[in-house]
Amino acid sequence: MAAQLSANNFNQKAINGEEPSDYDDHQAMAEEKKGEGFAVEEPNNEECAVERVDRLSKTVTEFQEHLRERVSYYLGYPANHNCEHYLALSTLLQFNINNVGDPFKESDHGLHSKKFEVGVLDWFAQLWGIDKDEYWGYVTNGGTEGNLHGILMGRELLPNGILYTSQESHYSMFKIARMYRMDCETIASLATGKMDCNDLRDKLLINKDRPAIININIGTTFKGATDDLDLVVQTLEDCGFSRDQFYIHCDAAISGFVVPFLKQAPKFTFKKPIGSVSISGHKFLGCPMPCGVLLTRKRYIDILSTSIEYIATVDTTIAGSRNGHSPIFLWYVLNIKGQKGLEEDVEKCLINSRYLRDRLKKAGINSMLNEMSITVVFERPPDSEFIRHWQLQCLGNMAHVVIMPHVTVEMLDHFLYDLLQKRNIWYGKLQLAPLLAKDIGICNCVCSVHA
Ligand SMILES: Cc1ncc(COP(=O)(O)O)c(C=O)c1O
């Protein structure tokens, strides 16, 4: 059905006299591949159990080779693939561990890892400047679940509140507004991707009679921009919102592991009037399964607590059953790396980000790198095969590379070499860079008009 829809879209363009673009082609191919899968086959009576396991292992081994090959071209998505150290935890796969319910409450269920979970949460609480007895949190299934919890908390505390989030926010924010049936004001973004606080002020003033639930981004999805928390708070105060009339959630899915380790960066901490923060654990930290952390203030959590007799604990989380392995993986990597190791990873990624940005600029390619960011934005290559090969994420005229710890200078050189070779084919020797000033700002555009 999806493939059919895409084909129709393709045909519609042809009918309208428009050339179907490479991007349509990319979409159509991605959708057409949906039907393929490794079939689940009934055990064959002629095959003994050992042969069957050998056959299955062969498929898994081949798949592993495929993953290894894809990792060396993994540039566009925000995930760290330095995961070898997690192999030490593989023996835990023989246990079905479930952290259902509240991490801090005892339950009768014995196969849980809440001691690891609480250790991880304490570590994050310290990083975000909130005392042990002041915070509440849990290990989530990823950034989206943390956003779901943070915004739910805001809505329960301020039931008539309007959600304000910038246009550069992750799509989960707009989905959450729909799920919770909240009124949502989309705030304009600057060319850097930061929230435009003038637009925020205008919209707050129009809705002065209702509380404000504000999502701020610590690392936007596409441009890696970090919103100015102090300016947002100042804007709220200037518009006459007192502390009990607003709630701030921080979506730190991507840069929650970058910004806190930068000496020059503005402080994001619970010492400021924020209500919650959500960070992904599979992005910068590279946990091999989706996970994350949600922190909030302990005094808020009662509003979401319900005692559930048959799990013999309190329900305070979004999910029921919760992954019991991921807190152990988070605990393990935080212990392996320590604060110093994480600082080194961040420093290396920032250096490599600047390296890529500078090399692109030198080659006459429009590019942008925000402060405190590891996301390099540049012009979208007009070739879906190239995009697929390097697993680039694209939006409109732009593509981006996220410099995670597994990305080496050698990998970037390989990418740059390939890009420059392909540009000769795409644009000919003249290499006229397309206009990108509207997307990334005039100062980052090297087109013939703005250079
Ligand atoms: C800013 C931002 N928030 C939230 C998310 C969602 O995170 P997850 O994929 O862990 O649910 C992402 C994912 O890229 C993101 O970029």
Site residues for ligand 1, CB cut-off 6 Å: 78, 142-144, 147, 170, 172, 217, 219-221, 251, 253-254, 280, 290, 292
Domains of the chain as residue ranges with CATH: 92-336 (3.40.640.10)
Say what the pLDDT of residue 305 is: 83
Question: Distance between CA atoms of 2 and 94, rounded to whole angstroms?
Answer: 38
Which of the listed residues 144, 149, 294 should we mutate to test ligand 1's pocket, taking the one with most ligand atoms within 8 A of CB?
144
Q: pLDDT value at position 1?
A: 32
Residue type, 414: H
Give the pLDDT of residue 388.
Answer: 97
Tell me, in angstroms, the distance from the centre of ligand 1 to residue 171's CA. 8
How much is the pLDDT for 432?
65
DSSP 310: G
Measured CA to CA, the distance from residue 220 to residue 189 in angstroms comes to 11
For the annotated catalytic residues, the residue numbers are: 373
Residue having the nearest C-alpha atom to atom 15 of ligand 1? 221
What average pLDDT values come out for the chain (451 residues) when binned by 10 residues?
33 37 47 73 84 93 96 96 96 97 87 97 97 97 98 97 98 98 98 97 98 98 97 98 98 95 90 98 96 97 84 86 97 97 97 97 93 95 96 95 98 97 86 75 74 61
Cα dihedral 346, 191, 368, 422 sign: positive
Query: Using the 8-state DSSP alphabet, how is residue 130 labeled?
Result: -
Atom of ligand 1 minimally distant from the CA of 145: 11
Cross-strand partners of 165:
186
Asked whether the beta carbons of 185 and 136 are under 8 A apart, the reply is: no
Per-residue model confidence (pLDDT) at position 445: 74
Question: What pLDDT is attached to residue 3?
Answer: 34
Q: Supply the residue whose CA is at minimum distance from atom 8 of ligand 1.
A: 143
Measured CA to CA, the distance from residue 83 to residue 288 in angstroms comes to: 7
Ligand 1 binding pocket mutation candidate from 251, 285, 404 (most atoms within 8 A of CB): 251
Helix (H) or strand (E) segment spanning residue 66: helix 49-71
Distance 449 CA to ligand 1 centre (A): 35
Residues in the chain: 451
| Residue 250: DSSP 8-state | E
Cα(109)–Cα(418) distance, integer angstroms: 54
* pLDDT tens digits along 49-68: 899 999 999 999 999 999 99
Q: With contact defined as beta carbons under 8 Å apart, do 277 and 250 qualify? A: yes
Residues 6+ positions from 345 with CB-CB distance below 8 Å: 284, 337, 405
